[in-house]
Amino acid sequence: MLQYNEQDMNDIRLKLKDMGTPIKIGQPVSLTIDGQAVKVARGTSVMRAAAEAGIAVPKLCATDSLEAFGSCRVCLVEIEGRKGYPASCTTAVEEGMQVTTQSPRLDELRRNVVELYVSDHPLDCVSCSANGDCELQDVAVSLGVEESRYGLGEGGYREVEADTSNPYFSFDPAQCIVCYRCVRACDDIQGTFALTVDGRGYASRVTAGQLESFMESDCVSCGACVNHCPTEALVEKSVIAIGQPERSVTTTCAYCGVGCSFHAELKGDTVLRMTPDKAGQANSGHACVKGRFAFGYATHRDRITQPMIRDSIDEPWREVGWDEAFAFTARRLREIQQRHGPDSIGGITSSRCTNEETYLVQKMVRAAFGNNNVDTCARVCHSPTGYGLKTTLGESAGTQAFHSVAHADVVMVMGANPSDAHPVFASRLKRRLREGAELIVVDPRRIELVNSPHIKANHHLALRPGSNVAFINAMAHVVVTEGLEDREFIAARCEEGPYLKWREFIAGERNSPEATERITGIPASELREAARLFASAPNAAIYYGLGVSEHSQGSTTVMGIANLAMVTGNLGREGVGVNPLRGQNNVQGSCDMGSFPHELPGYRHISDPAVRNLFEAAWNVTLRPEPGLRIPNMFDASVAGHFKGLYVQGEDVAQSDPNTQHVESALRGLECLVVQDLFLNETARFAHVFLPGSSFLEKDGTFTNAERRISRVRRAIEPLAGLADWEVTMALSNALGYPMDYRHPSEIMDEIARLTPTFAGVNYTKLDRLGSIQWPCNEAAPEGTPTMHVEEFVRGKGYFAITGFVPTDERATRKYPLLLTTGRILSQYNVGAQTRRTANSEFYSEDVLEIHPFDAEERGIDEGNWCGVVSRAGNTVLRAVLTDRVQPGVVYTTFHFPSSGANVITTDNSDWATNCPEYKVTAVQVSKVSEPSAWQKEYQAFARRQEELLDKARA
Ligand code: SF4
Ligand code: SF4
Ligand code: SF4
Ligand code: FES
């Protein structure tokens, strides 16, 4: 078999930019092309075989990321013993085949075809913004076509108006050669099926939807059609406005946990476009609207690029130099410690910053602050994943690479909405589903995957919010009681004692689908069918998200998921596994880097003397053995008056954390709040020191995505404020008297590798060579570990934890009869600080309340009405959207806009093991109202006042 590894593929890509048709794997076939002996895998096209031998056959409709289509007829070749001139892109190689790619006759035929194209195309190459980046131009030049015998574009091309409705790209039908690449990219890669070709022959025309504009159609602005267009028909507006890029820097998206690789393409210091990297191992050349287009926030006028300080939050900001800001901050923090004790300050690391930056913040807290009061936003998203997977499997991370899903036969998606939150993974998943894999969706809401073009979930188990544990137990109950376990796997791979105990527990009648039906709302018969489907699949994979973790029993559900995977033998190979879809770009990394108060980098407990000794020797300090405060503990301690100083890097806790009013009280209670960020975010309005942050385009480092993949972030432009975030933390630590001296983030990574066994083999040279590395990367796995737990679990034998269902306190009552659950939307990201400052707001400009028409009618609520949403914690007002996407009794909103106050109503209930907030279940009442809530009015007034104080500083 001819098999290609990533390195081979990179070598091939380097030889020729586009190989014409996709790579194939199969038995070797020998042939000659232009007299040259060539050996390729069976199924390879003649075009690709030629390309792999370094012979370029002209092409227009073919590209190596799409299966061949054979529409343009430019790639004709001669094959000994065959009549005519077959298209090389659609002709597969055969043993002994003799191919000629260059001859006078082929030249003539190709020129003829290209002349036809040119006759229907504007001849404005010199003034065209694609000049130099147009495949039609390249082919015409290579064939010496300078004019057309068919009219030379004398009005022959279509005078249809360009579609400029999309904020990021435009479509000019006049430039279109109807090669179908865009249509195929939308269908095969993105899976949205938004484009068609209308009409026939010369009248044929690409159109979005049913002759709609791109904005009116189902298009989700992923940009795949733009990437694949060989002409300027589909092109980024930035290229039209500014011109072709002059240089590019390969880096990693700073939005979600998929971690797509991009080429940041620049003209001078202006980033023109982000082009997805075909060699990117997480995304294979695909992207979503956020990473592809929503990068303008990095240079938005709201960026603060001068450090600012003030004594109280009622005073105007004072712009100062970096040195004064560091001295002021260090003095204030030390004074607080003198007055209130060493534990009265702490820090929060960022899941948006690099591994190196996060590592430095936790190091500064432990070494310079002298305590373990460090935490990260994973506290409020995936901390239960860490706890649950560590307990059962021995490692706190997902088990697979994304491409593993291509081998799955059944996929269970639980509490995750990949189409909106992890779109590039969703496209991979959809491709596998179109190939025939079966799908179980477990979600209170009908997410897009349930029924989307060419995809229909076998089961949508619309469980009630708060019933995850009852559900996952019922799944395992069916497996165990119907004899569907993988006994061989369990015997070989799992601890026997705990398994037997668990088996007895799970087989209990209270875990049966019939008994849990009244809790979950899932009909027992359907749950049984879903469990049988899952258990009998050769390969069954579980993907889950915050709909699993953000519950009072988040950790229990994660353990239940691991139990289900173990009992069905679905771990340790491709196509299976337990896969948490991480929210933010570096949430995996921030956890890996020791951001939790009880763990040093690599998830090693601070109380372990051997681990502490290692770090003490390297850092030249004495570390405290007891865990520090978690974020909610810090807030409680502030409200109680004994926590007074906080350094927050790249997080917006005032908007993202639950029970906003409690968080605001905590922030107001601080004597020194230091915020390091790009913008004056909601948290910074309560701050005394503002340290300008740097965007991902301005720094070097690494991010770690949801598949444990460490990828390089590379500087494309200079830091707007003069310093990258790691340099700021280093300088602050020095001002506090704890010396740090790194000249480049690679030195920080070298220190991480020295101190963290799972990172021991990671360095920048290797990252540059391999493109990315999935940890663990060490002596045993020098090039990383795509699939975890292959021979045995990290903890040795797998551990079946007992997962008893305990109902949350947050139950629907007569006073609060509806259950509110929250989620994300494709075009906005987290607290929206970045995406709200881009044209993505044209797609989604406010958080709304989704309510079922029955519930709305009962309350006299019509579409678009303002609704008061009241919980035990607070109330807010949102506009109503009536939809049966949510089931009766459940309402749903997003949390991307601060003024909507989604977290004013979420409570401070949290996961029993990790304190992860129970965002996904809040009992509420909803009624029609006519004005904003009291909190919203106060918020607007406070925000206005803080903007004025900022304006004064800037003036
Ligand atoms: S941008 Fe993406 S979704 Fe929209 S038409 Fe192009 S490929 Fe399809
Ligand atoms: S818009 Fe571009 S990719 Fe689509 S058919 Fe026309 S030329 Fe081909
Ligand atoms: S899927 Fe995630 S990582 Fe990829 S481009 Fe979109 S936001 Fe960025
Ligand atoms: S490239 Fe082969 S037919 Fe178009």
Token digits of residue 283: 């995304």
Q: Is the CB of 427 under 6 A from ligand 1?
A: no
Nearest CA to ligand 4 atom 3: 70
Please tell me the distance from the alpha carbon of residue 344 to that of residue 369, in angstroms, as a whole number.
9
Measured from the Cα of 829, ligand 3's closest atom is 7
Q: How far is the CA of 61 from the centre of ligand 2 (A)?
A: 9
**CB 709, CB 773: distance < 8 Å:** yes
Q: What are the tokens at 423? A: 């779109």
Q: Measure 290 CA to ligand 3 centroid, in angstroms.
A: 6
Mean pLDDT of the region 702-720: 96
CA within 13 Å, CB half, 520 = 29
- Residue from 226, 261, 273, 290 to probe ligand 3 pocket by mutation (most atoms less than 8 Å from CB): 290
- List strand residue ranges (DSSP E) for 132-211, in order: 169-171, 195-198, 205-208
* pTM of the complete model: 0.93
Give 230 Cα–ligand 1 centroid separation in angstroms.
15
Give helix 468-481 / helix 513-520 axis angle, nearest 10°: 160
Q: How confident is the model at residue 809, as a pLDDT?
A: 85
In 3D space, the residue among 358, 198, 224 whose CA is nearest the CA of residue 704 turns out to be 358
Question: Model confidence over 761-811: pLDDT tens digits?
Answer: 999 999 999 999 999 999 999 999 999 899 999 899 999 999 999 888 888
Question: Measured from the CB, is residue 184 less than 6 Å from ligand 2?
Answer: no
User: If residue 507 lies in a helix (H) or strand (E), which one and from where to where?
Assistant: none
Return the ligand number nearest the Cα of 176: 2
DSSP-derived secondary structure letter, 463: P
Q: Tell me whether residue 132 is exposed, middle or buried, using C-beta atoms within 10 angstroms of its C-beta: 0 to 12, 13 to 18, 19 or more.
A: exposed
pLDDT one-digit tens code per residue, 452-490: 999 999 999 999 999 999 999 999 999 999 999 999 999
Residue 308 CA: distances (Å) to CA of 17, 311, 328, 384, 625: 48, 11, 10, 37, 35
Residue to probe by mutation, ligand 2, list 61, 63, 71, 179, most atoms within 8 Å of CB: 179
Alpha carbon 102 to its chain centroid, in Å, reads 45
How many helices (H) and strands (E) in the chain? Answer: 31, 36
3-state secondary structure 689-752: EEEECCCHHHCCEEEECCCCEEEEECCCCCCCCCCCHHHHHHHHHHHCCCCCCCCCHHHHHHHH
Residue 672: Cβ within 10 Å count: 22
229 CB near ligand 2 (under 6 Å): yes
Ligand 3: centre distance to CA 424 (Å): 6
Spatial contact of 95 and 29, defined as CB atoms under 8 Å apart: yes
Q: Establish whether residue 62 lines the binding site of ligand 1, counting it when its CB lies within 6 angstroms of any ligand atom.
A: no
Q: How far apart are CA 192 and CA 480, in angstroms?
A: 39
Task: Between 198 and 891, name the one with better pLDDT.
Answer: 891
Q: How far is the CA of 723 from the centre of ligand 3 (A)?
A: 26
Q: What share of the chain is helix, strand, coil (3-state, %, to 5)?
A: 35, 20, 45
Cα 136 to ligand 2 centre (Å): 11
Report the C-alpha gap between 875 and 936 in whole angstroms: 9
74 Cβ below 6 A of ligand 1: no
Q: Which ligand is nearest to the CA of 208?
A: 1
3-state secondary structure 899-920: HHCHHHHCCCCECCCCCCECCC
C-alpha Rg value of the chain to the nearest Å: 29
**Closest ligand 1 atom number to CA of residue 220:** 3
HSE-up of residue 341 (Cα within 13 Å, Cβ side)? 8
Partners of 577 in beta bridges:
541
Q: Which of 848, 914, 836, 840 is nearest to 885 (CA)?
A: 848
CB atoms under 10 Å from CB of 653, counted, come to 27
Q: 738 and 731 in contact (C-beta within 8 Å)?
A: no
The bridge status of strand 455-456 relative to strand 451-452 is antiparallel
User: Nearest bound ligand to CA 826?
Assistant: 3
Q: Which of 141, 145, 148 is nearest to 116 (CA)?
A: 148
Q: Looking at the CA of 220, name the nearest ligand.
A: 1
pLDDT of residue 148: 63
Q: Which residues pair with 722 in a beta bridge?
A: none
For residue 3, pLDDT over 60 is answered with no
Q: Is the pLDDT of residue 7 over 50?
A: no
CA of 58 to the centre of ligand 2 (A): 17
What spacing in Å lies between the alpha carbon of 359 and ligand 1's midpoint?
Answer: 38
Ligand 2 in contact with 235 (CB < 6 A)?
no
Which two tokens mark 790?
């292959």
How far is the C-alpha of 563 from the C-alpha of 471, rounded, in Å? 13
What separation in Å is there between the alpha carbon of 149 and the centre of ligand 4? 22
Q: Which residues contact 945 (CB under 8 A, 6 or more apart)?
A: none
Angle at 482 between CA 480 and CA 488, to 5 degrees: 55
Percent of the chain surpassing pLDDT 90: 78
> For residue 635, which of 950, 313, 910 has the smallest C-alpha distance?
910
Residue 176, ligand 2, Cβ within 6 A: yes
Closest by CA position to 298, among listed 868, 861, 744, 717: 717
Q: 686 is written with which tokens?
A: 């309560």
CA angle 133–101–6, rounded 5-degree value: 60
Of the listed ranges 82-91, 143-152, 664-673, 757-766, the one predicted with least confidence: 143-152
Q: Which residues of 337-349 are buried (b: 16+ CB within 10 A; e: fewer)?
A: beebeebbbbbbb
Q: Report the chain's mean pLDDT, rounded to a whole number.
A: 92
Answer whether 61's CB lies under 8 Å from 179's CB: yes
The percent of residues in the chain predicted with pLDDT above 70, rounded, is 97
d(CA 685, CA 700): 29
- Please tell me the distance from the alpha carbon of residue 908 to that of residue 280, in angstroms, as a whole number: 40
For the chain, report the end-to-end CA distance as a whole number of angstroms: 69
pLDDT band at 150 (very low <50, low <70, confident <90, very high): low
What residue owns the CA closest to ligand 3's atom 4? 260
Nearest Cα residue to 911 out of 378, 477, 506: 378
Quote the ligand 3 centre to 423 CA distance (angstroms): 7
Give the ligand 4 atom nearest the CA of 75.
2
Identity of the amino acid at 95: E
Cβ proximity of 100 and 91 under 8 Å: no
Protein residue closest via CA to atom 4 of ligand 2:
182
Mean of pLDDT values over 371-397: 87
Ligand 1 pocket member 224 (CB < 6 A)? yes
- Cβ(94)–Cβ(31) below 8 Å: yes
Q: What angle do CA 23, 27, 30 make, to 5 degrees?
A: 90
Mutate to test the pocket of ligand 2, among 135, 176, 190 (most ligand atoms within 8 A of CB): 176
At 179-228, the pLDDT tens digits run 999 999 999 999 999 999 988 777 788 999 888 999 999 999 999 999 99
The finding on whether 564 has its CB within 6 A of some atom of ligand 4 is no
Tokens of 314: 């009622």
The protein residue with its alpha carbon nearest to ligand 2, atom 3, reads: 229
How many whole angstroms separate alpha carbon 484 and alpha carbon 480? 6
**φ and ψ of 781, to 5 deg:** -140, 75
* pLDDT at residue 147, rounded to an integer: 66
Report the distance separating Cα 350 and Cα 683, nearest Å: 13
Cβ of 59 below 6 Å from ligand 4: yes
Q: Which atom of ligand 3 is nearest to the CA of 258?
A: 3
253: Cβ below 6 Å to ligand 3? Answer: yes
- Locate the ligand 2 atom nearest the alpha carbon of residue 181 and give its number: 3
pLDDT in tens, 908-944: 788 888 877 777 889 999 999 999 999 899 889 989 9
Residue 4 has pLDDT above 80, yes or no: no
Confidence (pLDDT) at 128: 75
Distance 182 CA to ligand 2 centre (A): 5
- In 3D space, the residue among 60, 57, 70, 53 whose CA is nearest the CA of residue 103 turns out to be 57
The preferred substitution site among 168, 222, 255, 834 for testing ligand 3, maximizing ligand atoms within 8 Å of CB, is: 255
Among 532, 528, 540, which Cα is nearest to 489's? 540
By C-alpha distance, which of 810, 808, 821, 816 is closest to 902?
821
3-class secondary structure, 215:
coil
> How confident is the model over 296-349, as pLDDT tens digits?
999 999 999 999 999 999 999 999 999 999 999 999 999 999 999 999 999 999
Q: What is the DSSP string of 524-580?
A: HHHHHHHHHHHHHSSSEEEEE-HHHHSSTTHHHHHHHHHHHHHHTT--SSTT-EEEE
Query: 182 exposed, middle or buried (CB, 10 Å; 0-12, 13-18, 19+)?
Result: buried
Q: What is the pLDDT at residue 617?
A: 97
Of all ligands present, the nearest one to the C-alpha of 90 is: 4
pLDDT of residue 159: 66
Nearest to 577 by CA among 798, 832, 284, 818: 798
Residues 642, 648, 654, 659: what is their CA dihedral angle, to the nearest 10 degrees?
-50
Q: Whose CA is nearest to atom 6 of ligand 1?
A: 225
Beta bridge partners of 673: 646
Tell me, what's the pLDDT at 709? 96
CB of residue 624 inside a 6 A radius of ligand 2: no
Say if ligand 2 is within 6 A of residue 231 CB.
Answer: yes
Torsion over CA: 6, 8, 12, 15 (sign):
positive
Closest-CA residue, ligand 1 atom 2, reads: 222
Task: Classify 83 as helix, strand or coil.
Answer: coil
Question: Cα 410 from chain centroid?
Answer: 22
Q: Is the distance from the beta carbon of residue 259 to the nearest atom of ligand 3 less than 6 Å?
A: yes
Q: 670: which 2 tokens?
A: 């601080």
